[in-house]
Chains A and B, each alone.
Chain A
Amino acid sequence: MGSEFHIVVCGSIVPDPLQTLAPQDGPAGPSLKNEMMLPAVLDPWAGHALFEAAHLAAANPGSQVWLVSLGPKAKLQQVMMSVAQKVPFQLVVADGSASGFADAYETAKALAGTIEGIAGLDKSKLLLFGGWQSASRGSGAVIQMVGERLGVTEQFQGVDKLTVGGDGSLEVLERVEGGAYQKSVVDGAPAAFGWATGELPEPPNNPQVGMQNMQRNMPALMQAKPADLSGTTLKFSSVELPQQRRETRIVKDVPVEEMAREIVEWIKG
């Protein structure tokens, strides 16, 4: 027996992890050099959350998935062309900065306000999903604050597995220190989950899903409302790349025994 969930996934875009990034100062604080030119991808942890949400929704008939994204809508549109081919979801866009330097509190405020505006969302069935970290700000704080603002106080972070019981209860495995998991059970929705890697691989592209998604999601992009993230006093006195280049000693053309001995001495030292 399944349960019916309204799953809201919070996830934004980040620069492709393989890109070289450099900060620069601007009138509104730090930003990335050539930020709008950098190729963007869906944040990896938000991606895990989205794929888990779609899987959960498919296994529980009547469930729906919304992807709520705060980011510049032109870049979001580019990224969604590929993300939309993965799994079915309804996109809700808040048009604003996806910068890693944006204040987590203001981001959470904008996301919570956007979620409040979703027509037909039943908060008693709400599962709030997102990444436990992001590849931009990396604060691991936004989902908790969005949850608090929505009155969702059963929360979990570093989630790798979520199992729905026959009675609608949710068993959760959360990462804790030392490669261990904490197992918890909550009696049902509403609850919030910050996902770690999850268990599902990235789904293959499905052009049919992409067509269906984009028919619904293009209007969402067109109707995106500007998000106001200005209510913060957060100030950066500097943002710098670490300038540490090591003098690498190359050990080659020497016997394996000699290398091994040196490594062992170093380990024991």
Chain B
Amino acid sequence: MTVLYLAHTECDNSLHKSALEALNAAKTAAEGLGCELIVGLIGGDIAAAADSIGGCGAKFYGVSGSDFADGRYASDVAAAEAIAKACTPEVVVAPATSRFSRALPGLAIRLDGRVDTHLSGFEAVDGKPVAKRWFYRQRMEGVLTREERPWIVTLDSGCAEPFEGAGAASVEMLDVDVSAVRTKVAGMECASEDAQTIRPDADLLFVAGAGWTKKQADGATHVEEAEKAILSFLDTTKSSLGSSKSLVDISGEGGKVISFLTHMHQVGQTGATPRHPKGLSSCCHGEEPHVVGWRFIKERRAINLDAGCGWAQGKCDVLYVGDAFAIMAKVNELLG
């Protein structure tokens, strides 16, 4: 019986932290299941990535070359299929990166297996693999098993400790023909360093709510002032920016908007559920959708005018009852 760990390299040919976390989970599960661990790597050049985890003691397979440097469904699923067919695993464990979240569900069809994605945990219990994942947008967590094999699983980031153990790795390379793939990757569209406000690895998530664009005590809106306060805070702290849905939607309702917010920033029921050690929300209100957005934020603080806010009470650790404009101006001053 074999557990196959699959990973892809990043643009600098390294492995992402989430890939190292998934390796730790795969290794632990393989030990608990009494299985051999096999590593499969996909990327433009996988040598450095293989050596960075060579200490895991697994046999390595690899698919590399310029066709596999970028994430494309057709080439990634073909590479994963080739590796899986070389080792016929019972279980396939991979990180839930955007690249593998795109590609690996299709692998289940090609291998006549099954797939469960975005797991929050995967372990061996009494010699059998058991998975945990969230349902209904992070509102309830289920523990599940299945008998079909191979069982392909992807793990969300932050659910295991990253693997550490470099060492020289001997990789058996596999040839995969992707000449029939019709998709060409034309590059990335990234925000500039200054405009970048989504930072998945940041220590702090700052969530801006609709209150920033509402009329203030003087009867007027102060959106430009809000923009300056938020950007100043983000520049100083290098926090990641999130937004409530209502704030993003204001653009569709004709209201004045914070210019740098997009649907990409949205957290909650219909947005992202990011994982950061700390979260600070400001001018937010609401109930269930916000709870979902904050599901994986460990320490939570909020600034709100309403001490009885149903969202904040019981959901965050500290609630500062006050004017976010004034408080954040002072915070920015102190951060200097």
Contacts and interface: CB of A to CB of B under 8 A. Distances in A.
A and B from one assembly? yes
Interface stretch (B32-40, B132-140, B162-170): B132-140
A140 B264 CA distance: 17
Given A138-B137, A184-B72, A233-B147, A251 B187 contact: no
B278 A267 contact: yes
Given A154-B181, A235-B145, A240 B140 contact: yes
Contact of B146 (A44, A101, A233): A233
Interface residues of A, number: 91
A256 B117 contact: no
A175 B265 CA distance: 12
A242 B141 contact: yes
A60 interface: no
Interface stretch (B23-31, B41-49, B214-222, B325-333): B325-333
Interface in A186-228: 186-188, 194, 196-197, 201-202
A40 to B, nearest CB: 13
A21 B314 contact: no
- Give the interface size class of chain B: 35 or more
Given A135-B269, A237-B143, A252-B307, A183 B288 contact: no
A157 B299 CA distance: 31
Contact of B288 (A20, A175, A180, A266): A20
Interface stretch (A2-10, A69-77, A86-94, A257-265): A257-265
Interface string B42-59: 000000000000000000
B128 to A, nearest CB: 11
Interface string B177-221: 000011111111111000011111000100000000000000000
A15 interface: yes
B136 A246 contact: no
Contact of A135 (B72, B137, B147, B198): B137
A177 B134 CA distance: 20
A136 B135 CA distance: 6
Contacts of A22: 140
Given A251-B321, A257-B330, A153 B186 contact: no
A129 interface: no
Interface stretch (B61-69, B82-90, B104-112): B104-112
A21 B136 CA distance: 8
Contacts of A144: 73, 102-103, 105-106
B307 A138 contact: no
Contacts of B116: 104, 139
A34 interface: no
Contacts of B289: 17-18
Contacts of B7: none
A140 B109 contact: no
A39 to B, nearest CB: 14
B188 A180 contact: yes
Given A105-B108, A155-B106, A267-B237, A181 B188 contact: yes
A263 B264 CA distance: 26
B135 A140 contact: no
Given A182-B185, A248-B319, A241 B118 contact: no
Given A158-B98, A236-B144, A246 B74 contact: no
A11 interface: no
A246 B98 contact: no
A110 interface: no
Given A175-B264, A267-B278, A17 B118 contact: no
Interface of A: 14-15, 17-23, 30, 32, 44-45, 100-101, 103-105, 108, 135-142, 144-145, 147-149, 153-158, 160, 171, 173-188, 194, 196-197, 201-202, 232-242, 245-253, 256-257, 259-264, 266-267
The 4 closest A-B pairs by CB, nearest first: A179-B198, A260-B330, A141-B105, A252-B321
Given A177-B200, A183-B188, 13 more contacts: A136-B135, A139-B116, A155-B102, A173-B189, A181-B188, A182-B71, A236-B144, A246-B316, A248-B316, A249-B317, A260-B330, A264-B335, A267-B335
13 contacts: A140-B117, A153-B74, A158-B102, A179-B191, A179-B198, A236-B142, A239-B143, A248-B312, A249-B317, A250-B307, A260-B331, A264-B331, A264-B335
